[in-house]
């Protein structure tokens, strides 16, 4: 009987301790289920961005992001056009927007902390300013530069997978570092670009213009070219791909 009286308080204390630990584990994270972040590495590419993450439970969260790239020079243009082709495009600039929805599955501590994998959907749109394009027309052994005005936009829908890890930077678990280890997406895109000339193009000029645009051979882009007396129309219809990586800083609340 004495032993029983000694054991009962032990179980009561153990149960209370365990309950207290469980309450600490669940109540603290539930008080901070939201995170606002920005990908700081994106600013190197003019990408102004913000994302919001909401924890649904310990292992599952949803992250929604939006980014916009103000009008500016085409990044890495010389990586997909040689020097001669690049000279044909004068004062071309682009602007872009993107929207991403990303369910996250945490395999670490959870509630927004640890390693995760995230299948995601992304919508992207890219548009140009009114730029100058020079077409070299060859006739009777002489080259005549023909100026044209270009304008257009393209958009794409794609799906992908992100692998990353998220960490809390202080003891209050308020500040967050989100490391996008690697993410890639693939889908389809459509676009429409026009080149307009003040000069009436002859059938021979149209043939040469079409050939010159086709020979640009822009990688990872499928496009068709139609020409007429006023210029050309380029239709983009093909694969749309991209890669994501970087560091985001955020606030958890």
The 10s digit of each residue's pLDDT in 76-105 is 777 677 777 777 888 999 999 999 999 999
Rounded to the nearest 10°, the torsion over CA 78, 38, 177, 59 is -110
Bigger pLDDT: 104 vs 7? 104
Please check whether residue 71 is in contact with residue 101, taking contact to mean a CB–CB distance below 8 angstroms.
no
**Is 190 within 8 Å of 236 (Cβ atoms)?**
yes
Average pLDDT, rounded, for the chain:
87
Instruction: State yes or no: pLDDT of 2 exceeds 60.
Output: no
Provide CB contacts within 8 A for 168, sequence distance 6+.
113, 174, 175, 176, 252
Residue 19 confidence (pLDDT): 45
- pLDDT the model gives residue 13: 41
Q: What is the mean pLDDT of residues 26-55?
A: 87
pTM exceeds 0.75, yes or no:
yes
Provide the pLDDT for residue 30: 53
Tokens at residue 217, please?
A: 């051979």
In terms of DSSP bridges, do strands 89-90 and 34-39 run parallel, antiparallel, or are they unpaired? unpaired
Residue 1, pLDDT above cutoff 50: no
Q: What pLDDT, on a 0 to 100 scale, did the predictor assign at position 29? A: 52
Selected residue with higher pLDDT from 126 and 14? 126
Per-residue pLDDT tens over the stretch 159-179: 999 999 999 999 999 999 999
Q: Which two tokens stand for residue 171?
A: 């003891």
Q: 181 pLDDT exceeds 80?
A: yes
Q: Provide the 10 A C-beta neighbour count for residue 98.
A: 19
User: For 12-26, 31-45, 114-128, 199-213, which range has the lowest pLDDT when averaged over its residues?
Assistant: 12-26
Backbone angles phi, psi at 187, to 5 degrees: -170, -145
Report whether 66 contacts 51 (CB < 8 A): yes
- Is residue 94 a contact partner of residue 74, using CB atoms and an 8 Å limit? yes
pLDDT over 60 at 15, yes or no: no
Which residues are 178's β-sheet partners? 166, 248
pLDDT for 22 equals 42
- Mean pLDDT along residues 215-220: 76
pLDDT value, residue 4: 41
Spatial distance between the Cα atoms of 185 and 105, rounded to a whole number of angstroms:
18
The pairing of beta strand 89-90 with beta strand 223-228: unpaired
Q: pLDDT exceeding 90 applies to what percent of the chain?
A: 71
Dump pLDDT digits (tens) for 124-139: 999 999 999 998 899 8
The set of residues, in sequence order, having a beta carbon less than 8 Å from that of 33 and lying 6+ positions away, is 54, 55, 111, 112
Residues 224-237, mean pLDDT to the nearest whole number: 95
> In b/e form, how buried is each residue of 2-18, taking b as 16+ CB within 10 angstroms?
eeeeeeeeeeeeeeeee
- Which range is least confidently modeled, 52-56, 106-110, 218-222, 246-250? 218-222
**Residues listed for the chain:** 253
pLDDT score at 114: 96
């Amino acid at each position: 009987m004495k032993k029983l009286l000694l054991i009962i308080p032990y179980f009561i204390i153990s149960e209370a301790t365990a309950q207290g630990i469980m309450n600490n584990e669940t109540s603290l994270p539930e008080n901070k289920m939201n995170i606002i972040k920005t990908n700081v590495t994106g600013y190197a590419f003019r990408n102004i961005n913000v994302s919001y993450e909401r924890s649904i439970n310990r292992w599952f969260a949803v992250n929604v992001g939006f980014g916009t790239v103000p009008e500016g020079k085409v990044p890495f243009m010389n990586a997909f056009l040689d020097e001669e082709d690049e000279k044909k495009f004068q004062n071309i600039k682009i602007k872009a927007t993107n929207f991403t929805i990303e369910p996250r599955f945490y395999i670490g501590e959870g509630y927004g902390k640890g390693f995760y994998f995230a299948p995601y959907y992304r919508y992207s749109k890219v548009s140009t300013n009114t730029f100058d394009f020079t077409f070299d027309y060859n006739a009777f052994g002489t080259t005549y530069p023909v100026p044209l005005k270009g304008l257009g936009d393209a958009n794409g829908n794609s799906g992908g997978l992100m692998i990353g890890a998220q960490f809390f930077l202080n003891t209050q678990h308020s500040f967050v570092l989100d490391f996008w280890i690697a993410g890639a997406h693939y889908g389809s895109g459509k676009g429409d670009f026009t080149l307009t000339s003040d000069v009436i193009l002859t059938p021979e000029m149209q043939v040469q213009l079409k050939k010159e645009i086709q020979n640009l051979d822009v990688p990872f882009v499928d496009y068709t070219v139609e020409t007429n007396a006023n210029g050309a129309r380029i239709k983009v219809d093909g694969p749309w791909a991209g890669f994501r990586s970087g560091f985001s800083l955020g606030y958890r609340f």
